[in-house]
Amino acid sequence: MLYQAPELSPRCGRLSGAANVWSVGCIIAELATGRPIFSVTTLQNHVCGIIELTGLPSQPTLSTISDAELHNHALSLESVARIPLAERVRNVDHRLLDLLSEVFFLDVDSTITCKGALSHKYLDDVRCDADGFVCFPMRFVE
């Protein structure tokens, strides 16, 4: 569940390529910080962590949760304090933080696409032409 997009949780949302972007974002955040962006033990805990990061979903997004118990749990988290992405992912290049800020959305239509992510300015230094391959280490800011 650590890297699972919200819409992949049982009885939640609609599937799209955004789920892959969310998962890759979780992995990149963990590689950059050395710890998972979400601390997950249960589905309810996962929902709480997501809402802490993204805020309470809009009514149209909430309506995609078909499980009544999970829907009510999400609604009960209305007063949960948000923990900004910059607090969860500290000491990283500001361009990486910008990229990740385009990844973590509950509305799958708002999430950056794979093509958009690959075109993001964070990857400018390593983008290569069609004939080349580039390997690069993660850059950490101290």
| Angle at CA of residue 59, ends 58 and 65, nearest 5° | 100
In a domain, 14, yes or no: yes
Number of domains forming the structure of the chain: 1
In a domain, 118, yes or no: yes
62 forms bridges with which residues in the sheet? none
Q: Give the C-alpha separation, 65 to 70, whole Å.
A: 7
User: Any idea how long the chain is?
Assistant: 142
Predicted confidence at residue 31, as pLDDT, reads 93
In a domain, 140, yes or no: no
In a domain, 137, yes or no: no
The CATH number of residue 22's host domain is 1.10.510.10
In a domain, 13, yes or no: yes
In a domain, 135, yes or no: no
Give the C-alpha distances (Å, rounded to integers) separating 71 from 13, 15, 112, 126. 11, 18, 25, 42
> Model confidence over 85-105: pLDDT tens digits?
999 999 999 999 999 999 998
Q: For 37-41, 48-52, 132-136, which range has the lowest pLDDT when averaged over its residues?
A: 132-136
Domain that holds residue 99: 6-126
Give the C-alpha distances (Å, rounded to integers) separating 136 from 1, 8, 43, 120. 28, 31, 35, 16
Predicted confidence at residue 121, as pLDDT, reads 93
In a domain, 29, yes or no: yes
> Whole-prediction pTM value?
0.77
pLDDT interval class at 3 (50, 70, 90) = confident
CB 103 within 8 A of CB 20: no
